[in-house]
Amino acid sequence: MSRAVSIQTNFTTGEIDPLLKSRIDIDQYYNSLEQARNVVIQPQGGITRRPGLQYISTIPSAANPQNGCRLVPFEFSTTQSYMLLFVHNRMYIYKDKVLQTNINGTGNDYLVTTIGSSNLSTIDYAQSADTLIVVQEDIAPKQIKRGASHTTWTIADISFEYTPKYAFSLSTSNPSATLTPSAVDGNITLTAGSSVFASSNVDDYVEATDGIGRARITRFVSGTVVEAIVEIPFFNTSAIASGSWLLEVDYVDAWSATYGYPRTVTFHEGRLYFGGSKSRPNTIFASRVGRFFDFNPGESLDDDAIEVTLNTGQVNAVTGLFSGRDLQIFTKGGEFFLPQSDLDPITPGNVVIQGATKRGSKEGIKPVGAESGTMFIQRSGKSLREFLFSDVELSYISNNISLLSSHLLVTPTDLALRKATSTDDGDLLLIVNNDGSLATYSILRGQNVIAPSLSSTDGEFVKVSVDVDTIYFVIKRTVNSNTVYYIETFNDDNTTDSNKLLTSSAGTLPNSSTITKAVTVQSVSGSNKYFIDGVQQATLNLYEGHTYKFDQSDNSNSGHPLRFYLDANKTTSYTTGVTTSGTPGSSGAYTQIVVASAAPTLHYQCSSHAAMGGVANTPSGASITGLTHLEGKTVKVIIDDAMAADATVASGAIVVSTLPTSYIEVGLNYTPTVKTMPVELKLPSGNTVGQKKRIVEASALLYLSQNLTLDAKEFPFTAATFFTGKKRRKPMLGYDREGQLTFSQSAPLFFTLLGVEYKVSVGQ
């Protein structure tokens, strides 16, 4: 039997695939975890509880979010950005986590879009200045603009100056209709057996399917072509008469209700690019330089429009475009780019599509640009890849980012990236799976950090997007036996700030809720003149966001006014929100004050009372309202950094026993789980994989933590305080062949685990 000391200094590999459990030969094994659930791995190496979800609004059932929805960011300026929620024929606008109302003065909280639910899963978008372009192959491209205010928005089909054309496209509008020829040679009149021609067909062609001859249509009557003049003889009249013919069109619009519309879109080097269309899925269209809605090829000058097709051995339908070092083209069959030698601009004369890799990308999931490359989901949905330029190969490669954690990807449905927000932060890549889970990758490529974890909630993650640095979600939940869809955001302020939301769905905080308390001023011995719900108090502080109802039942004070002050020295009066009913001392008389949001702590004093001082006793039984979105749920409650008793939401409210002095948090619980890999010590005698072992003692290195358990046993913490240092657990009993530690929490408070040191006893 031998003993050894080991330490895991970081967790930068994150949760790894169970298939790698025996790979003690790779370095990543010693920085990885068997489970990393509801946590985020920090780029410095530690693990912290994942951000809570802050409730923003409920998506109305009339919007049919269950049939499809999409989140799209819109950045109007450096100081004004929005999150747009698309549902069936509607667009909702959120700014700074607030739903904008009365859009365009209509009284509606949404803009009518005519983009139906069936189109939302495959829409693509791109923004330039104040205009957002939205495309989908079954709807005309649309432009969305913000007007003079947050609630002024317009949407319209794009009016193109010039649309790309189809050359000699075969029309199948009515190929079985018969044509009756007037002769077999010379000038022949063809009469259609039904209305198959239109005035737009003038100068088009009619061709027999056996290729014997063709006819040019030259005239029409009353707006509809009824006859055709054959200028080229030798038609097979029997073939034409039987309907074996096709109408060939010289040129038609490449985008129309008949031929479909563009599939993907981006802006690149002064041009608007469309990637593929419904009828031409592998063609790239580029506008003229600086004229985004003009696709006229002109004389193929450098600034004229461009059209180029991917001519490969398979139909590479374009699934995404990304403007990076080059214009990157993602298709179902592989990845391509438009090379630019010496960084020359792309022109009609030098445009060429070059193949790079053959992985294929998943349709409907927009590629996103990260620190070093472009992230995309492979066509099968089994891997996350990074498309980046290799200076060695002078081409692009597609690295498998999820190689060690492919089990976390379960048919992804959405992808978003929150870029690093500080010098000690990394990119946060979020992938929504179709089982409602959320795979989260913390990425800092400069330090070779790719750390995945998996999160869940009381419900399902449905969609995700990022507004600058605010992460928005559509969450599906079951509340009060009803299926509901909410807009929620990560509140990821990793500080001890009181606005931090730790729980899965935050309730309304005191500065926007109403806590009503009855206060009675009475004449009693001593200075304890104040009664709050029957509890006698010497002094009284009024808390922000609360409503107080005062009853001056002492007749001796009837001639003295109620006064409210901003400070204990009574130097600044505060009277806003005060209402009085009746004469003080009379039956039913009261004075009521509503303490406004963002107001400092107020002090109440009757004129006969001595100077204020100290902190008032807190009343009991306060009602926290505004929790309708959690009706019937049992919620966790945190008051001023300390846990309070659980409560059940009834009639949109809960009752707490203590009023907060700074903040209160109400929401659904979620439990983080961090399970280390089986310990492997690499002793001089060899590995210990198959040997029994016991972790005798473990020390957790913590930073600003309030709650943590090890193997279901809680570390001791002082309530409402933050601990930084080491927490040790010993003795630890029991041999097994794994030697693993499981960290979790018994309360939804802060924790950051930096590393763990343990002593291991190895048996035979």
pLDDT in tens, 515-549: 455 555 554 444 555 555 556 655 555 554 456 66
Q: Let me know if residue 279 belongs to a domain.
A: no
Q: Let me know if residue 657 belongs to a domain.
A: yes
Is the predicted pLDDT of residue 511 greater than 50, yes or no?
no
**Is there a single domain that holds both residue 726 and residue 658?**
no
**Is there a single domain that holds both residue 685 and residue 747?**
yes
* DSSP structure class, residue 736: B
Between these two residues, 667 and 275, which has the higher pLDDT value?
275
Cβ-in-10-Å burial (0-12, 13-18, 19+) of 629 comes to buried
Q: Domain count for the chain, please give it.
A: 3
- Between CA 594 and CA 522 the distance in angstroms is 21
Q: What pLDDT is attached to residue 606?
A: 31
Q: Where a domain ends, among 621, 642, 667?
A: 667
> Could you read off the pLDDT of 559-606 as tens digits, one per residue?
334 444 444 444 444 444 556 666 555 555 555 655 544 433 433 333
pLDDT tier, 244 (very low <50, low <70, confident <90, very high otherwise): low
Contact predicate 711/738, CB 8 Å = no
Cα 146 to Cα 6, 47, 104, 111, 472, distances in angstroms = 58, 40, 10, 11, 20
**Is there a single domain that holds both residue 570 and residue 621?**
yes
- Between CA 624 and CA 654 the distance in angstroms is 5
Q: Let me know if residue 159 belongs to a domain.
A: no
Q: Let me know if residue 272 belongs to a domain.
A: no
E runs forming strands in 172-261 = 179-181, 188-192, 205-208, 214-216, 227-230, 245-253
Cα 74 to Cα 141, 263, 291, 475, 609, distances in angstroms = 17, 20, 21, 20, 56
Q: Where a domain ends, among 228, 253, 278?
A: 253
Instruction: Retrieve residue 636's tokens.
Output: 């966790």
> Could you read off the pLDDT of 463-505 as tens digits, one per residue?
999 999 999 999 999 999 999 999 999 876 443 333 333 333 3
Is the predicted pLDDT of residue 317 greater than 90, yes or no?
yes
Q: Where a domain ends, among 667, 697, 720?
A: 667
**Is there a single domain that holds both residue 629 and residue 709?**
no
pLDDT tier, 247 (very low <50, low <70, confident <90, very high otherwise): low
**Is there a single domain that holds both residue 700 and residue 557?**
no
**Is there a single domain that holds both residue 690 and residue 614?**
no
Is the predicted pLDDT of residue 551 greater than 70, yes or no?
no
- Between CA 256 and CA 495 the distance in angstroms is 53
Please count the residues of the chain: 764
Q: What pLDDT is attached to residue 667?
A: 85
pTM to 2 decimal places: 0.79
pLDDT tier, 240 (very low <50, low <70, confident <90, very high otherwise): low
Q: What pLDDT is attached to residue 422?
A: 75
Instruction: Retrieve residue 151's tokens.
Output: 């609630």
> Could you read off the pLDDT of 625-666 as tens digits, one per residue?
778 888 999 988 888 788 989 989 888 888 777 666 667 788
> Could you read off the pLDDT of 621-635 as tens digits, one per residue?
466 777 888 899 998
- Give CA torsion, residues 625, 628, 629, 631, to 10 deg: 110
Greatest mean pLDDT range, 133-142, 505-514, 611-620: 133-142
Of 711, 49, 500, 705, nearest in space to 41 by CA? 49
- Between CA 575 and CA 540 the distance in angstroms is 16
**Is there a single domain that holds both residue 568 and residue 687?**
no
Structural domain span for residue 225: 165-253
Q: What pLDDT is attached to residue 193?
A: 72
Cis geometry, peptide bond prior to residue 731 (ω within 30 degrees of 0): yes
pLDDT tier, 724 (very low <50, low <70, confident <90, very high otherwise): very high
Cα 124 to Cα 93, 306, 366, 473, distances in angstroms = 18, 20, 7, 18
Is the predicted pLDDT of residue 357 greater than 80, yes or no?
yes
> Could you read off the pLDDT of 78-110 as tens digits, one per residue?
889 999 999 999 999 999 999 999 999 999 999
Of 158, 161, 164, nearest in space to 133 by CA? 158
Mean predicted confidence (pLDDT) in 721-727? 95
